[in-house]
Structure 1
Amino acid sequence: MRSAKPGDAEGSITAGSDFLHLDIATAPPGRRADWLADQLRRAIADGRLPVGGRLPATRVLAADLGVSRGVVVEAYQRMVEEGHVAGRGRAGTVVVAAPAATPVRSGPTAAPPPAALFPRAPGSGIFDAVRTAPARIDLTPGVPDLAAFPRGDWLRAERAVLRRLAASDFGYGDPRGAPALRRAVAAWLARSRGIAVDPAEVIVTTGVSQALGLLAQALRPAGVDTVAVEDPGSLGVRQQLNNWRVATPPIAVDDAGLRVDELAASGVPAVLLTPAHQFPTGVVLDGERRRRVAAWARAGGLVIEDDYDAEHRYDRPPVPALRAMLPDHVCYAGSVSKLLAPALRIGWLLVPARHRDAVVEARRNADLGNAVLPQLVLAELMTSGALERQLRLLRRRHVRRRDAMVAAIARHVPGATVHGAAAGLHLTVTFDGAVTDTEVAARALERGVKAQPLSWHCQRPHPPGLVLGYAANTVSDIEEGVEAIAAALAG
């Protein structure tokens, strides 16, 4: 039998490569680039291709496999976009980062079976348990594209910061945060969220989660021990507030956002909102509801604004923050967890003057403040324009992945309804049928795909659904993940 040549019709290929023992005959017809990228990804993850290892030239590998060079170029390009490899000129294409590995446990500490990971009433440790569960494809919401972290920009900013630091700068910092970052955050919020704030009013936190804890500690002595939350609304937010002995009664969310009439009738002193991109439904608090929330707040209510996913918008104009119109009635929390990486643990909090001293005192008692060096590096990224460049890059990438997920759902789960596609890092899908969404999530995990049940984020009855993150996944993984969910729905 003759050896195939590049460009031969599919089905006639018999070539292979000594590199990783690649066998092109195992590639699905029409998806050779997907197959090759997946083989490279697996080889990097299991150490066969170590960091610093070099990939064959595209022409050489294409000739070995008997495919067109375009197949190999496309596969390599995907690996570049994911941050696993990089071109090094004459040195060729080199592995620069391994995919994040999910720990695999054995023996007495082995991961629980999928059904046990998706109870209808999840406990306080549920997110940790699901996060460490092995999965081939992770569609967990709230995770940015970690492979796109701007390592080069971060290193350049770090070098710039270290060059100009004085010895005294390595001492204890201000518990409110490094002045340079507070100035940078104030400027960032003015440009991107329409919020005019003095840098002295900015309090740096380890993220929105800590911001909620600080607010709970400051508000309870002031008589605020109940904060209404959106329903559906974030389970994690409820758990954080409940941990600080703050009650979280539900207020319904519809296509226009929070039901302000229900809020007013509830008699609660405070409410937590995600008005720019509601989690998990993705709706935007519309103009009329915003005016009614403002009237409620001016009559004595307090708004806690979690500016969730505000930067990640695609098919709609920007929505101003509530804090911009109600500075004396809104506690505003944001972070870089969804923009850069949760591992940075850097966020910010703005509070009305009457609560600021109590929040700063709680911040001081917590840990004397964040690590200063990462704050200064982030400030450099913000002021140099690197963070805005990163956001533009992410938007383009997210749109492709969002579109891929919407298309995959239309193909494989045509009966499902998609919510919240205009912005954010996730989609919510609802579906009909007798099966519960926790059962679907467990079946999907049995097939190697991790997704989050919508019911976890609902305090009252709601149609079953799943909350699916797309930002951290390749187009091919999104397609495969949605196929597995369709199979899980079918039983």
Structure 2
Amino acid sequence: MADDWAGFGADLHLELRGQGLRAGLMDALREAVRTGRLAPGARLPSSRTLAADLGIARNTVADAYAELVAEGWLTARQGSGTRVARRAAPRRSGAPSPTTPRTGRFRQRPAYSLVAGTPDLASFPRAEWLKAARRALTAAPYEAFGYGDPYGRIELRTALADYLARARGVYAEPGRIVICSGFVHGLTLLGTVLRQRKVRDVAVEAYGYAVHRERLGDTGLRLPALPFDTLGSRTGELAAMKDVGAVLLTPAHQFPMGVALHPDRRAEIVDWARRSGGLVLEDDYDGEFRYDRQPIGALQGLDPDRVVYLGTASKALAPGLRIGWLVLPQALADEVVAAKGPVDWATSTLDQLTLAEFLVSGAYDRHVRGMRLRYRRRRDQLVEALAERAPGITVSGIVAGMHAVLELPPGTETSVLQAAAWQGLLIEGLSQYRHPATPPTRDALVVGYGTPPDSAWSGTLDALCRVLP
């Protein structure tokens, strides 16, 4: 009982160097303030607590505090404790300026963003998510707070199996679902398993995310490009790619081109997988958002033993949740879990339980329907603004999703991107998504109209129209 007081107060790591405890403590505190590790206004532990933590006399700490107060490093007031003096925070060594992006494209932080692939983060359903989290936490069994099942929580896998079957036409059983920490994590696991299966090549679409190619390449796979035309990826050319053991596709809404894979090619890709023993990796990144067409079901429903379905909460909710899922053939599920490890080191159990509750309660469906209306309204406003202020620009890929492709006159993509940077507009050109082996044939912008919050949408649209030729 005599030492109970030592458990109170904030922890503070200090390394005392040099001769003399008081001088060493003062030097350590000055260094912590100078480097920004102790921020202006930060409250320090009481002299009694810090003395107990460091194993030194309380008077030594009190004397050090008093001298640093006299020097202006600290302040001390009755009832407020000892704090770091409020003055200009020093710049941390080696840290980038907060107003300068790491890319160096902008002299200041972009005022507007139309980067594709990100939802309107301001619309995250905080209140409903909090309600679901409370219900999930109340109902969670005690074992949920241990190291997780590498397959993922059974509550979430069961809820996903029901939702994906109903909303996306996926053949999904809880035992075939593996929860992962987002799409890239799932793709990396699949790449690892494919290499273990002696697969050498995975075909990828001519246009797509470079980071997806990079992660697959990091596992040792080669990534030949599958050509693209107005009907989507030319799946018939897989027959001539002898070393290809799998193909990564976005069949419902090709990213970034926005084309749905033609029905004949959907059948063709499944036939290829059956004949060759290959796998189709289906990225269903925005399957919930469609506007001017009937929903296109997942390719996985055509052959659950040859198609791996990859989904994520990143587009419908927020990428910060870091929750994705793989619906796999059973044998492959076991191999993916073996690659993942004996426990789930990546995905928060409580977030999994909350998402399961969010799905089961119907809150997920309500949120998706609301965002579908919001994004459709954004899309219509984009098309109307371009028709009025940039009538020479053709817009495509807008029947679904959260982005559009704006065709530019040949040779103008670079100059338009430069003009956008000067306007404080963050936007990407089509060339940034092109596979290195794909010849440049088009100049275009990829416009993510889901990204800006409502408060910035009008200004962002104006900035876009100002930079278009």
Fold match (TM-score > 0.5): yes
User: Which of 143, 166, 175 pairs up with 1:191?
Assistant: 166
What residue in structure 2 maps to residue 167 of structure 1? Answer: 142
What residue in structure 2 maps to residue 109 of structure 1? Answer: 96
Structure 1's 479 and 464: CA in aligned 2 closer, same or farther, altered over 3 A? Answer: farther
Q: CA deviation at 1:260?
A: 1.6
Q: Is the 8 A contact 1:204 1:349 kept in 2?
A: yes
Q: CA deviation at 1:372?
A: 0.4
User: Which of 428, 437, 443 pairs up with 2:419?
Assistant: 443
CA distance in 2, matches of 1:229, 1:198: 27
The runs of 5 or more residues in structure 1 that have no matched partner are 1-103, 119-129
What residue in structure 2 maps to residue 209 of structure 1? Answer: 184
CA distance in 2, matches of 1:322, 1:228: 17
CA distance in 1, matches of 2:226, 2:443: 19
Q: Is the 8 A contact 2:121 2:453 kept in 1?
A: no
What residue in structure 1 maps to residue 370 of structure 2? Answer: 393
1:346-357 equivalences under 5 Å are 346-357=323-334
Q: Is the 8 A contact 1:232 1:457 kept in 2?
A: yes
CA distance in 2, matches of 1:366, 1:284: 37
1:198-277 equivalences under 5 Å are 198-267=173-242, 268-277=244-253
Counterpart amino acid of 1:109? P
CA distance in 2, matches of 1:216, 1:107: 35
Helix, strand or coil at the partner of 2:341: helix
Does 344-353 or 357-366 show the bigger shift? 357-366
Q: CA deviation at 1:368?
A: 3.2
Helix, strand or coil at the partner of 1:299: helix
Q: CA deviation at 1:440?
A: 2.1
What residue in structure 1 maps to residue 274 of structure 2? Answer: 298
Structure 1's 136 and 106: CA in aligned 2 closer, same or farther, altered over 3 A? Answer: farther
What residue in structure 2 maps to residue 283 of structure 1? Answer: 259
Q: Is the 8 A contact 2:118 2:450 kept in 1?
A: yes
Helix, strand or coil at the partner of 1:331: strand
What residue in structure 2 maps to residue 82 of structure 1? Answer: none
Q: Is the 8 A contact 2:111 2:425 kept in 1?
A: yes
What residue in structure 1 maps to residue 309 of structure 2? Answer: 332
Q: CA deviation at 1:367?
A: 5.1
User: Which of 437, 442, 452 pairs up with 1:473?
Assistant: 452
Q: Is the 8 A contact 2:184 2:212 kept in 1?
A: yes
What residue in structure 1 maps to residue 36 of structure 2? Answer: none
Counterpart amino acid of 1:351? L
CA distance in 2, matches of 1:109, 1:432: 36
Counterpart amino acid of 2:367? Q
CA distance in 2, matches of 1:294, 1:202: 20
Identity of aligned residues (%): 42
CA distance in 2, matches of 1:413, 1:274: 30
Q: Is the 8 A contact 2:175 2:330 kept in 1?
A: no
CA distance in 2, matches of 1:471, 1:106: 36
Larger Rg: 2
The runs of 5 or more residues in structure 2 that have no matched partner are 1-90
What residue in structure 2 maps to residue 321 of structure 1? Answer: 298
Q: Is the 8 A contact 2:148 2:344 kept in 1?
A: no
What residue in structure 1 maps to residue 109 of structure 2? Answer: 134
Q: CA deviation at 1:113?
A: 8.3
With structure 2 as the length reference, what TM-score do the two structures score?
0.75
Cα RMSD (Å):
2.5
| Structure 2 residue 343 is the aligned partner of structure 1 residue 371 | no
Structure 1's 424 and 133: CA in aligned 2 closer, same or farther, altered over 3 A? Answer: farther
Q: CA deviation at 1:454?
A: 0.6
Q: Is the 8 A contact 1:404 1:478 kept in 2?
A: no
Q: CA deviation at 1:165?
A: 2.4
1:302-333 CA-partner distances (Å, limit 9, x unpaired): 10100121011111111111111111111110
Structure 1's 168 and 266: CA in aligned 2 closer, same or farther, altered over 3 A? Answer: closer
What residue in structure 1 maps to residue 431 of structure 2? Answer: 455
Q: Is the 8 A contact 1:322 1:330 kept in 2?
A: yes
CA distance in 2, matches of 1:151, 1:163: 18
Q: Is the 8 A contact 2:150 2:343 kept in 1?
A: no
User: Which of 385, 393, 397 pairs up with 1:420?
Assistant: 397
Q: Is the 8 A contact 1:412 1:483 kept in 2?
A: no
Structure 1's 479 and 462: CA in aligned 2 closer, same or farther, altered over 3 A? Answer: farther
Counterpart amino acid of 2:257? T
Helix, strand or coil at the partner of 1:456: helix
CA distance in 2, matches of 1:107, 1:421: 43
Q: CA deviation at 1:117?
A: 5.0
Q: Is the 8 A contact 2:147 2:343 kept in 1?
A: no
With structure 1 as the length reference, what TM-score do the two structures score?
0.71
| Structure 2 residue 151 is the aligned partner of structure 1 residue 176 | yes
CA distance in 2, matches of 1:309, 1:198: 21
CA distance in 2, matches of 1:172, 1:365: 9
Q: CA deviation at 1:232?
A: 1.8
Structure 1's 117 and 289: CA in aligned 2 closer, same or farther, altered over 3 A? Answer: farther
Counterpart amino acid of 2:467? A
Q: CA deviation at 1:166?
A: 3.2
